């Protein structure tokens, strides 16, 4: 089974995959260079010196014959040409959000809505940042009530696990709803 983790630049996608993967994650990090000046806004993530240029990949074994593959997308628009291949066959997606840069998640939200892929929003709680009520986040994003929004800390395995469980519930609820509609 394939799950995609997406969101803006520096939101924690690589960290999310690394926190839960049972294998050493495959990451395609490259150093930020002078060419990224004015392109990659590191204001809110001043300690960030690398960026994902293709994908992050991790794996979780649920049962002997049931594997969960995690694919993290690059966060910048200039790498969006990779998304169709990364998302192909995915059961669902997690859009990570940094409330300091809420607008950065709009391309991911638009993509998953346009491609009818079940998703939820994970508000990554960065230390020292203001916490918002999830209803305020929903209003700021303009997403319907049917899109779950959960808090998470991409650095902690248990938090990442709870987000993956929540996404599984979204996917199952949607599939069951479609099955009922088809048989009605």
Domain count, the chain: 1
pLDDT at 181: 80
Residue 82, class by beta-carbon neighbours within 10 Å (0-12 exposed, 13-18 middle, 19+ buried)?
middle
Q: How many beta carbons lie within 10 A of that of residue 100, not counting itself?
A: 14
Range of the domain at 103: 2-183
- Average of pLDDT values for 72-82? 69
Res. 56 pLDDT band, cuts 50 70 90: confident
Per the CB < 8 A criterion, the answer to whether 123 and 152 are in contact is yes
Q: Give 3-state DSSP helix, strand, coil % of the chain, rounded to 5.
A: 40, 25, 35
Distance of CA 128 to the CA centre of its chain: 21
**Global confidence as pTM:** 0.83
Higher local confidence (pLDDT), 11 or 40: 11
- Average of pLDDT values for 69-79? 77
pLDDT at 157: 97
Residue 27 pLDDT exceeds 60? yes
Distance of CA 28 to the CA centre of its chain: 16
For the ranges 24-28, 36-40, 78-82, 119-123, the lowest mean pLDDT is seen at 36-40
- The two tokens of residue 77 are 């628009």
Residue 184 pLDDT exceeds 90? no
At 8, which CATH number?
Answer: 3.40.50.300
Task: Report which DSSP code applies to 114.
Answer: H
> If you average pLDDT over every residue of the chain, what do you get?
85
pLDDT at 74: 78
Question: Which residues make Cβ contacts (< 8 Å) with residue 101, sequence separation at least 6?
Answer: 8, 10, 11, 41, 44
- Average of pLDDT values for 171-176? 89
For the ranges 23-27, 131-135, 140-144, the lowest mean pLDDT is seen at 23-27
Report phi then psi at 47, rounded to 5.
Answer: -85, 0
- Average of pLDDT values for 8-17? 91
């Amino acid at each position: 089974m394939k799950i995609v983790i997406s969101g803006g630049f520096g939101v924690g996608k690589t960290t999310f995959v690394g926190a839960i993967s049972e294998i050493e994650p495959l990451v395609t990090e490259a150093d930020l260079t002078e060419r990224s000046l004015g392109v990659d806004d590191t204001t809110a993530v001043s300690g960030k010196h690398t960026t994902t240029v293709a994908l992050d990949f991790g794996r979780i074994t649920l049962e002997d014959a049931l594997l969960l593959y995690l694919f993290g997308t690059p966060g910048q628009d200039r790498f969006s040409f990779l998304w169709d291949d990364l998302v192909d066959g995915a059961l669902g997606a997690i859009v990570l959000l940094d409330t300091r840069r809420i607008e950065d998640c709009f391309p991911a939200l638009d993509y998953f809505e346009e491609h009818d892929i079940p998703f939820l929003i994970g508000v990554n709680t960065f230390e020292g940042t203001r916490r918002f009520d999830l209803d305020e986040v929903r209003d700021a994003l303009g997403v319907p009530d049917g899109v779950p929004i959960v808090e998470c800390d991409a650095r902690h395995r248990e938090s990442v696990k709870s987000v993956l469980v929540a996404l599984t519930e979204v996917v199952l609820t949607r599939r069951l709803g479609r099955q009922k509609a088809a048989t009605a």
